[in-house]
Structure 1
Amino acid sequence: MKKLKVKLGVVAVLLMLVGVKQASAQEARSGIKGGLNLSNLYVDDVDDENVRGGFNAGIYTQIMVGETFAIQPELLYSAKGAKTEYDNTFGNGETDFNLNYIEAPILATFKLGDAADIHIGPYFGYLVSAKSKSTNDTVFGGIDSEGELDRDNFNKFDYGLAGGIGFNFSALTIGLRYNYGLAEIAKSDRAETFLGDSKNSTAQVYAAFNLQ
């Protein structure tokens, strides 16, 4: 995830330097979007953390504030979570966390000519469903369980920072984005046992279709 953030930052800076020379009045874009989530959680006392695949889908619009600047609100369904492996006094195993959010990013958008847009700003999320599935090899034997942690074990609200870049091809935009969560997701003592002070961390690849 850290390498991805560095690469996105380098690309964004290079394109901004090129785009400044092309600054002119640009048209706003609105439409539908969707793509792939690569999610993870920062988990304490875990030997291995595995990226979990999910998806994002929703709508977006741009509100032009200046010739090359816009505010881009979005409304998305976003499937997040992680797969974690642990090894402690009671045994070892793997837990798959599935967390589904309705998210509302509100992004400052810098338009680099017609070629690309850079986005940065806060996002706010509301947890609509959650479940976990564990495979455990304990001192008592092997155990498979599903639904150990449900929505009541997690904080309902999430928030953080989002940043990325979109490349425009006529009515199609292909983009990369990274969402860095700032809110702890565990609520109950049971959830904290598994997750500690974990926060969401999600890289996204998406396609957006301009319907305006």
Structure 2
Amino acid sequence: MNQFRITILSMALVFAGLSFAQAQTPRGGIKGGLNLSNLYIDDVEDENVRTGFHAGIYTQLMITPAFGIQPELNYSTKGAKAEYDVLGFEGENKFNLGYIDMPVLATFKLGDDADIHFGPYFGYLVGVSTSTEGDFGDGYEELDRDDYKKWDYGLAGGLALNFNPVSIGLRYNYGLNKIADSDEAENLIGDAKNSVAQVYVAFNMH
């Protein structure tokens, strides 16, 4: 219930900000780039970053010359590869997750050359490919979308450098929701949460 109230409050603040920004000329366009994702996984010997991507659209609505709101809608790959060593049995688990993410970020202008972004993100799980290779056998406890929670949420923050009409940015997305939803998923990833670092290029279309 507390999580639901936080989500409703966040969205109310977003819509309030958008109503103030209507008089401003919005800017926005398309963006995409590299994802370096991982999971916070319990009881594994090693965690390896998964290389992926994200791509989507954004708009930036300025409330004042120095402050605005930047909502986005992106497809983003997440997950990890993790080696296991359980009672002498060794192998590797691969977790490939695909989300539709909606960051809603406060934007602080550092002049015309740079922006600082910070705010919540909300994600919806649209695709899963999970498998195990090793002593437990290929495909052992292979999981599908029903084994994961459909919704993810967390905090995102980063920096963008502006070279109008192109921006180059760095961002980190810190998941706050446990992603396992079934006993089988919990056996493999425990209380794992998403963690994604991003490097991106944005093209201003306005």
Scaled by the length of structure 1, the TM-score of the pair is 0.83
Q: Which residue is equivalent to 1:62?
A: 60
AA in 1 matched with 2:101: E
Cα deviation 1:116-156 (Å, max 9, x = unaligned): 11000000000001121211224xxxx22288100000000
Q: Secondary structure at the match of 1:65?
A: strand
RMSD across aligned C-alpha pairs, in angstroms? 1.5
Unaligned runs of 5+ in 1: 1-25
Q: Which residue of structure 1 aligns with residue 8 of structure 2?
A: none
> Are positions 1:207 and 2:201 aligned together?
yes
Structure 2 residue identity aligned to 1:193: N
How far 1:64 moved relative to its partner?
1.0
Q: Distance in 2 between matches of 1:63 and 1:148?
A: 43
SS in 1 for 2:135: strand
Which consecutive residues of structure 2, in runs of 5 or more, have no partner in the other structure? 1-23
Q: CA deviation at 1:69?
A: 0.5
| Native 8 Å contact 2:25 2:61 kept in 1 | no
Partner residue, 1:165: 159
Conserved 8 A contact 1:102-1:126:
yes
Aligned positions of 1:12-23 closer than 5 A? none
Superposed, which structure 2 residues align to 1:129-208 within 5 Å? 129-138=127-136, 143-145=137-139, 148-208=142-202
Aligned to 1:120: 118
Contact 1:132 1:146 in 2 (8 A): no
- Structure 1 pair 104/146, CA: closer, same or farther in 2 (3 Å)? farther
State the percentage of identical aligned residues.
64
Residue 110 (structure 1) shift: 0.4
Partner residue in 1 for 2:15? none
Question: Matched residues in 1 for 2:29 and 2:77: separation?
Answer: 20
Q: Which digits, 9 at most, give the CA deviation of each residue in 1:51-79, with x for residues without a partner?
A: 00010000000111111101000000000
* Residue in structure 2 matched with residue 76 of structure 1 by the alignment: 74
- Distance in 2 (CA, whole Å) between partners of 1:173 and 1:52 is 25
Q: Which residue of 1 aligns with 2:107?
A: 109
Q: What CA distance in whole angstroms lies between the structure 2 residues aligned with 1:152 and 1:45?
A: 23
C-alpha contact 2:141 2:184 (8 A) present in aligned 1? no
After TM superposition, give the deviation of residue 40 of structure 1 in Å.
0.2
Q: 1:28 to 1:117 in 2, by over 3 A?
A: farther
Give CA deviations for 1:71-126 in whole Å, capped at 9, x if unaligned: 00000000010000010127110011000000000000001111011000000000
- TM-score scaled by structure 2? 0.86
Q: How far apart in 2 are the matches of 1:166 and 1:147?
A: 41
Q: Is the 8 A contact 1:174 1:206 kept in 2?
A: yes
